Amino acid sequence: MAAHLRFRDLTLGYDRHPAVHHLTGEVEEGAMLAVVGPNGAGKSTLFKGIVGLVAPLSGTIDRDLSVRDIAYLPQAIEIDRSFPINVYDLVAMGLWRRIGAFGAIGKTEREWIHGAIAAVGLTGFERRPIAGLSGGQLQRVLFARLLLQDSRLIVLDEPFNAIDERTVTDLIALVRRWHSERRTVLAALHDMNLVRRHFSQTLLMAREPIAWGETGFVLTPENLMKARRMCEAFEEAAAECAVAAE
């Protein structure tokens, strides 16, 4: 089977300060990969690299689809929740690849939008402004938008942080549905129980990959401890590698 994503000695960062070091590996089509690691481990940076928002400092990422075709869920804090837009319009953004800046939303598209809103359990919320939603409701809205993006590769940056349990259960069900449809799902997660229960593959990182493979073999106490120690010492490591990269 062809590799969907391939990293070759990938280093990513901002202003020449690397946040992800020397990552090599492949994500296969249809994989369900959890990316775990302490805060500041470079998970978000890796995802931004995958969707093309951060360019590699060195190494390469090969994708067998255009970055514009990846469905990417950034962390919810990046959304301006005070903006006067309602649930329906925010979900409709998921059709961008299809309708672009000028395309009309016709009958078919309207049905899709209502379908996606129903799939996340928010029927009846269409006209609500996003300012009035709870964190869990907003995350449901964003998942509805992902549904409309209809992508083969879905990248979720901490999708379940500070979200109520009921919402996590419902949204995990959507993620499992994507998996059964042979879509590739990458998710940055903090809840190890969730990872063990639902994700067959795990990448544990702390600025550089600690372990990558079957979840059971990756999430050992030794590996987790190592990740935590490496993240605490990252300042020196970053300086070191910046010199090495030049």
Partner 1 sequence: MAIYDLLVSPFAEFEFMRRALVGVVGLALGAAPVGVLLMLRRMSLIGDAMAHAILPGAAIGYVVAGLSLFAMTSGGLIAGLLVALVAGGIARATELKEDASLAALFLVSLALGVVIVSVRGNSVDLLHFLFGNVLALDNATLVLIAVVATVSLLVLALIWRPLVVESVDAGFLRSVSRSGGPAHISFLALVALNLVGGFQALGTLLAVGIMILPAVISRFWSRDLTAMTVSAVGAGIISAYCGLLVSYHAGLPAGPAIILFAGMVYGASVLFGRFGGLLRGWGARRHLEA
- Span of 98-106, 116-124, 193-201, 237-245 interacting with partner 1 by CB under 8 A: 98-106
Structure tokens at 157: 């940056």
Contact segment (CB under 8 A) with partner 1 among 26-34, 86-94, 118-126, 188-196 equals 86-94
Q: How far is CA 219 from CA 7, 191, 225, 232, in A?
A: 21, 12, 10, 19
Binding of residue 53 to partner 1 (CB under 8 A): yes
Q: Work out how close the CB of 23 gets to partner 1 at its nearest, in angstroms, rounded to a whole number.
A: 20
**Binding of partner 1 by 55 (CB under 8 A):** no
Starting from the edge strand earliest in sequence, which strands make up the sheet with 17-28, in order?
17-28, 3-14, 56-63
**φ, ψ of residue 187 in degrees (nearest 5):** -140, 130
Which residue type, as a one-letter code, is found at position 237? Answer: A
- Between 113 and 206, whose beta carbon lies closer to partner 1? 113
The piece of 23-31, 94-102, 161-169, 214-222 that touches partner 1 (CB under 8 A) is 94-102
Q: Does 85 bind partner 1 (CB under 8 A)?
A: yes
- Quick one: 155 or 204, whose CB is closer to partner 1? 155
CB 155 within 8 A of CB 50: yes
Q: Any contact of residue 93 with partner 1 (CB under 8 A)?
A: yes
Work out which of 23, 31, 51, 153 binds partner 1, going by CB under 8 A: 51
Q: Select the span of 116-124, 127-135, 170-178, 219-227 touching partner 1 (CB under 8 A).
A: 127-135
Compute the least distance from the CB of residue 42 to partner 1, in Å: 17
Task: Tell whether residue 8 is a contact of partner 1 (CB under 8 A).
Answer: no
- Residue in 45, 86, 201, 215 binding partner 1, rule: CB under 8 A: 86
Residue 240, Cβ density class (10 Å: 0-12 exposed, 13-18 middle, ≥19 buried): exposed
Strand-pair partners of 228: none
d(CA 62, CA 59): 10
Q: Which of 8, 56, 96, 135 touches partner 1 (CB under 8 A)? A: 96
Q: CA–CA separation, 125 vs 13, rounded Å? A: 39
56: closest CA among 122, 7, 99, 103? 7
Closest alpha carbon to 141 in 162, 127, 158: 127
Under rule CB under 8 A, which residues in 135-194 are in contact with partner 1? 145, 149
Q: Which residues bind partner 1 (CB under 8 A)?
A: 51-53, 67-68, 70, 72, 74, 78-80, 83-86, 90, 93, 96-97, 100-102, 129-131, 145, 149
